[in-house]
Amino acid sequence: MSDFNFETAAVRTQLERTEFLEHSVPLYLTSSFVFEDAEDMRASFAEEKERNLYSRFSNPNTTEFVEKIAKMEGAEAGYAFATGMGAVFSTLAALLSAGDHIVSARSVFGSTHALFTKFLPKWNIETTYFKVEDADTIESLIQPNTKILYAETPTNPGIDILDLEHLGKIAKKHNLILVIDNCFATPYLQTPIAFGADIVVHSATKLIDGQGRVLGGVAVGRADLIREIYLFSRNTGPAMSPFNAWVLSKSLETLAVRVDRHCESALKVAEFLEAHEQVNWVKYPFLKSHPQYEIAKKQMKKGGSIIAFEIKGGVAAGRNFLNKIKMCSLSANLGDSRSIVTHPASTTHSKLSVEDRLEVSITDGLVRLSVGLESVEDIIADLNQALS
Ligand SMILES: *Cc1c(COP(=O)(O)O)cnc(C)c1O
């Protein structure tokens, strides 16, 4: 099994067939599992055998989903969560103690930023941020109590790239746990563990589902750390539901073909936007003009599905563009088969000051575009009519 290539592992990693010899993996909607006798029950609770007890701990469907993701990421183990934020929070809460310190890139998902600045400080866990372009200063931010180095790449919504090899080296040298949010790249385009990450977290809600149906999250990585995350989570209750795991495991079977098409179309759309007179600049990892193009090429197989670009004319022009869009959806999701546009300055990041927005590469005219699986001609036609 472990020798299979990526696409094969995505399709052929599955549970053993039941007595019915079903081809597709069945859905196990059961909250608990039964025991043969008192001794079986004792041994199971003592963890002397590996088996399902209760679906907050594990369930055949979540196990199948986690095994697939772990193989794709090159990880030893994993645990699946109800949402991406469940994975991020539980990872941090399980691995950190009061008084510990995090060093993180400033460009992180909005709710992750809220964890770092509003909630973790309640337990005396502080975070020091570095700007993406100042990644060479990370070592100067490390304190004796620093335990985790955290980053996401490409970043949301700025599409900045962090050098995973560089982060891996620093984490190793200073004995830090490197946690990477790999949501935008997916394991098909980028495997952070190969560069030294200890834990990889995902919002499975995005490209892993890819069809805007279910929420989900997962953390995979070093077995000893996953064990801590598992023990924390099986007691605190953020587990993924069997139904969502069943949907997401099916989604993984098509991840490679979907992401290939997303990337192919996104590059064409990025090139179209870069040539458009109403657009100031475009940020897409595999455009030569991207400031971290060389790093993107080194660590990513393709450029991904998300593009950031700036429309001339600031906030008003950004809002006007959204109003003129006909086919693409105005929605907060991304990585969906349907193309989605958002204008962070007037929506998700409207409460930040202009200066704070610029810290995370959000200018007033910035539009985030998640390129879907529609015909690329239709996507470009919609953008073109909305820009003119
Ligand atoms: C959406 C997202 C999350 C949070 O995932 P949910 O499934 O919405 O909880 C975390 N990180 C990144 C980069 C995201 O885009």
State how far the Cα of 80 lies from the Cα of 223, in Å rounded to an integer: 14
Q: Can you name the CATH fold of 6-252? A: Aspartate Aminotransferase; domain 2 (3.40.640)
Any ligand 1 atom below 6 A from CB of 305: no
Neighbours of 256 (CB within 10 A): 21
State how far the Cα of 64 lies from the Cα of 344, in Å rounded to an integer: 36
Q: Write out the chain's pLDDT in tens, 388 residues.
A: 457 899 998 998 888 899 999 999 999 999 999 999 999 999 998 989 889 999 999 999 999 999 999 999 999 999 999 999 999 999 999 999 999 999 999 999 999 999 999 999 999 999 999 999 999 999 999 999 999 999 999 998 889 999 999 999 999 999 999 999 999 999 999 999 999 999 999 999 999 999 999 999 999 999 999 999 999 999 999 999 999 999 999 999 999 999 999 999 999 999 999 999 999 999 999 999 999 999 999 999 999 999 999 999 988 898 899 999 999 999 988 999 999 999 888 888 888 888 888 887 888 889 999 999 999 999 999 999 999 8
Residue of 183, 208, 213, 214 with the most ligand 1 atoms within 8 Å of its CB, for mutation: 183
- Ligand 1: atom nearest CA of 333 is 1
Residue of 107, 111, 360 with the most ligand 1 atoms within 8 Å of its CB, for mutation: 111
Any ligand 1 atom below 6 A from CB of 91: no
The CATH homologous superfamily of the domain defined by 256-387 = Aspartate Aminotransferase, domain 1 (3.90.1150.10)
Q: Which residues does 303 contact at the CB level (< 8 Å), separation at least 6?
A: 263, 266, 267, 270, 284, 285, 286, 287, 296
**Residue ID of nearest Cα to ligand 1 atom 2:** 203
- Please, are residues 43 and 66 in contact by the beta-carbon 8 Å criterion? no
Three-class SS state of 214: coil
**Residue ID of nearest Cα to ligand 1 atom 1:** 203
State how far the Cα of 32 lies from the Cα of 143, in Å rounded to an integer: 45
Backbone angles phi, psi at 51, to 5 degrees: -160, 165
State how far the Cα of 202 lies from the Cα of 62, in Å rounded to an integer: 15
Domain residue ranges of the chain, discontinuous segments joined by +:
6-252, 256-387
Backbone angles phi, psi at 281, to 5 degrees: -155, 160
Angle at 138 between CA 132 and CA 143, to 5 degrees: 140
State how far the Cα of 259 lies from the Cα of 264, in Å rounded to an integer: 8
- Please, are residues 270 and 382 in contact by the beta-carbon 8 Å criterion? no
In this predicted structure, what is the pLDDT of residue 1? 43
- Please, are residues 54 and 32 in contact by the beta-carbon 8 Å criterion? yes
